[in-house]
């Protein structure tokens, strides 16, 4: 069972990585795939948390957000690398914005925008900004 899960995880991690890509670009794609897997797995339990805390609407909103991250792995697998990385950043920023507005300033969710600012610096290289 563990071997099967490891094989699935590695196939998700290496989706879209071909031998014709540079080493640094392969690392960016692998990192974006890993971010998608982690965000999907970390986000899904919040559907139960928000529902248990009396916010079933916000709990229901978590499910499509979490299930959208594997779409970006599929985009990487089909060669749409830039669209995938922009989508990851856009979806995560949008989700944080919605929940920060919903729960208010006292929740501290707005503090996630500090590490989110680094996502674009991690997923894109400076020279790539000219091609977007």
| Residue pLDDT, tens place only, 88-124 | 999 999 999 999 999 889 988 888 888 888 888 888 8
Contact (Cβ atoms closer than 8 angstroms) between residue 62 and residue 42: no
Please report how many Cα atoms fall inside a 13 Å half-sphere around the Cα of residue 93, on the Cβ side: 14
Kindly indicate the confidence band of residue 9, based on its pLDDT and cuts at 50, 70 and 90. confident
Residue 51 vs residues 41, 43, 89, 108, 112: alpha-carbon distances, Å: 17, 13, 26, 19, 22
More confident residue, 131 or 112: 112
Q: What is the pLDDT of residue 131?
A: 61
Q: Which residues contact 121 (CB under 8 A, 6 or more apart)?
A: none
Q: What is the pLDDT of residue 129?
A: 65
Give the pTM: 0.85
């Amino acid at each position: 069972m563990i071997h099967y899960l490891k094989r699935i995880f590695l196939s998700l991690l290496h989706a879209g990585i071909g031998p014709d890509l540079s080493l640094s670009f392969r690392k960016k794609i692998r990192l974006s795939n890993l971010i998608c897997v982690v965000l999907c797995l970390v986000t899904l339990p919040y559907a139960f948390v928000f529902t248990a805390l009396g916010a079933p609407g916000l709990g229901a909103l978590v499910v499509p957000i979490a299930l959208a991250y594997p779409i970006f792995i599929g985009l990487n697998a089909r060669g749409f690398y830039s669209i995938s990385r922009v989508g990851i950043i856009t979806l995560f920023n949008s989700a944080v914005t919605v929940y920060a507005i919903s729960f208010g300033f006292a929740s501290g969710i707005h503090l996630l925008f500090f590490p989110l600012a680094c996502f674009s610096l991690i997923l894109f290289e400076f020279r790539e900004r000219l091609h977007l």
